């Protein structure tokens, strides 16, 4: 199955996969205008790879503008290609990248930038029988100090820390296990791998609806 995957919860990332094998991938970690980065990336990938059987978008959590741009681009691309469009939780993609390289059920917390001096966080406990990360808490929005208290109070072993949220607020939360950009932001390639595993197991994906967790930063205009 050919899958085109997009994620804009952090970086602007697009990939084409045949099952779990990545055929082509484009990721811009410095992107601030996701729509402008995704357009050329999708056109390039479309020229390099077969037409997709499915389109998958990262539904977040993530900032309002970036998520909206990525999901809209994915829906438009799917309509043009005649392929169904579904969603996958973005934090699951980052968790899968870690677990793929570090097998085992070690507890893992993924934290990404939520702006406003907050982070989005999800806790995972290894992979299920289909090889999909098991979320045990979240995603939720946290102030760094509050998340640090929650992690310190949680029973059991200390979880691994992964994602840009830990890098941004290392003084409060502790540094992430890696500062590799590929382990700080979710990627479309890993998002596609999560989708491929869910589809292979006959399990449903999410609707392509953004997971904002809070109101957008920009207030809507009001009629006079």
Residue 217 lies in a domain: no
Residue 205 lies in a domain: no
* List of residues 6+ apart from 31 with CB closer than 8 A: 8, 11, 12, 37
66/105 same-domain check:
no
Asked whether 163 and 97 are in contact (CB, 8 A), the reply is no
80/11 same-domain check:
yes
175/100 same-domain check:
yes
Residue 14 lies in a domain: yes
In terms of Cβ atoms closer than 10 Å to its own Cβ (0-12, 13-18, 19+), residue 190 is buried
The residue ranges of DSSP E strands in 66-221, in sequence order, are 85-88, 107-113, 119-127, 133-142, 160-162
13/123 same-domain check:
no
Neighbours of 199 (CB within 10 A): 19
53/123 same-domain check:
no
Residue 18 lies in a domain: yes
The partner residues of 133 in beta bridges, in order of sequence, read: 127
97/179 same-domain check:
yes
83/108 same-domain check:
no
What domain range is 132 assigned to?
Answer: 90-183
Residue 167 lies in a domain: yes
73/126 same-domain check:
no
Asked whether 83 and 57 are in contact (CB, 8 A), the reply is no
Phi, psi dihedral angles at 196 (to 5 degrees): -60, -40
18/44 same-domain check:
yes
Closest CA to 19 of 8, 5, 38, 7: 5
45/103 same-domain check:
no
Q: How far apart are CA 132 and CA 124, in angstroms?
A: 10
Helix extents (H) in 13-118: 34-48, 64-81, 90-101
Q: How far apart are CA 80 and CA 46, in angstroms?
A: 11
What pLDDT shows up at residue 31? 54
In tens digits, the chain (224 residues) has pLDDT values of 999 999 999 888 999 999 999 999 988 876 566 666 777 888 888 888 889 999 999 999 998 888 998 999 999 999 999 999 999 999 999 999 999 988 877 899 999 999 999 999 999 999 999 999 999 999 999 999 999 999 998 877 889 999 999 999 999 999 999 889 889 999 999 999 999 999 999 999 999 999 988 765 444 434 44
124/72 same-domain check:
no
Q: What total number of domains does the chain contain?
A: 2
Residue 210 lies in a domain: no
34/63 same-domain check:
yes
Residue with tokens 């640090």: 148
CATH for 66: 3.30.420.40
Closest CA to 92 of 52, 140, 127, 41: 127
């Amino acid at each position: 199955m050919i899958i085109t995957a997009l994620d804009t919860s952090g970086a602007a990332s697009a990939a084409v996969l045949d099952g779990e094998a990545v055929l082509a991938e484009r990721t811009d970690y410095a992107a601030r205008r996701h729509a402008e980065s995704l357009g050329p990336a999708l056109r390039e990938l479309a020229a390099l790879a077969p037409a997709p059987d499915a389109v998958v978008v990262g539904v977040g959590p993530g900032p309002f503008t970036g998520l909206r741009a990525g999901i809209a681009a994915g829906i438009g691309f799917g309509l043009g290609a005649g392929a169904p469009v579904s969603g996958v939780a973005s934090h699951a993609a980052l968790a899968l990248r870690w677990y793929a390289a570090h097998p085992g059920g070690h507890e893992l917390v993924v934290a990404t930038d939520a702006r406003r001096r907050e982070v989005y966080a999800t806790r995972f406990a290894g992979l299920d029988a289909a090889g999909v990360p098991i979320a045990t808490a979240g995603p939720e929005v946290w102030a760094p100090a509050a998340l640090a208290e929650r992690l310190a109070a949680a029973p059991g072993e200390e979880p691994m820390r992964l994602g840009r949220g830990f890098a941004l607020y290392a003084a409060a939360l502790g540094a992430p296990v890696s500062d590799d950009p590929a382990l700080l932001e979710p990627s479309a390639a890993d998002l596609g791998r999560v989708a491929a595993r869910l589809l292979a197991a006959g399990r449903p994906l999410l609707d392509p609806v953004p997971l904002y967790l809070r109101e957008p930063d920009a207030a809507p205009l009001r009629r006079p």
